[in-house]
Homo-oligomer: A and B are copies of this chain.
Amino acid sequence: MPTPPLDLSPLQAQLRAFAQVRNWQPHHTPRNLLLALVGEVGELAEILQWRSDAELAALAQDNPAEWEHLGEELADVQIYLARLADVLGVDMAAAVADKLDKNARKYPEPQS
C-alpha cells in the first residue's frame, strides 16, 4: 500500500491539546465546529467575492496585507476541518485516500 498522501494527526494532536488545556472540549462538538467552519468559509468567500481570478493571481504583489489575510482564512478552515474530523473520530488519511481511489475510478485517465 502506498503512503497515504495526507497526515493530519500532528495538527490534530496539537489542536486537541490546545483545546484541552483551555477547557474548550465541551464547546468543541461536531455541530459547533461545523458552524465555525462555515463561518471561516464565509470569511474566505468575502476575500474572493468581488475579485476576478486575475486579481487573485496578483494579490500577493498588489495587496500583501490581504494576501496574508487570505492565508489566515485558509488556515482557519483547515484548523476547524482537522478538529471536526478529530472530534467525529474520522480517520482523514484513510478517508482522503479512499476518495482519491474513488475519483481515479470515476474519472479514468484519458487515453492518448
Residues of A within 8 A of B (CB): 3, 5-8, 10-11, 13-14, 18, 21-23, 27, 29-32, 34-46, 48-50, 53, 56, 60, 70-72, 74-79, 81-82, 84-85, 88-92, 94-96, 98-100, 102-104, 107, 109-110
Contacts and interface: CB of A to CB of B under 8 A. Distances in A.
28 contacts: A5-B14, A6-B10, A6-B82, A14-B100, A18-B103, A21-B109, A22-B107, A22-B109, A30-B48, A30-B53, A32-B49, A34-B35, A35-B35, A35-B45, A35-B49, A37-B41, A38-B38, A38-B45, A39-B46, A39-B49, A41-B41, A71-B90, A71-B98, A74-B95, A78-B92, A78-B96, A79-B96, A81-B81
A10 B5 contact: yes
B48 A76 contact: no
A98 B72 contact: yes
Nearest to A38: B45
A84 B32 CA distance: 17
A10 B107 CA distance: 20
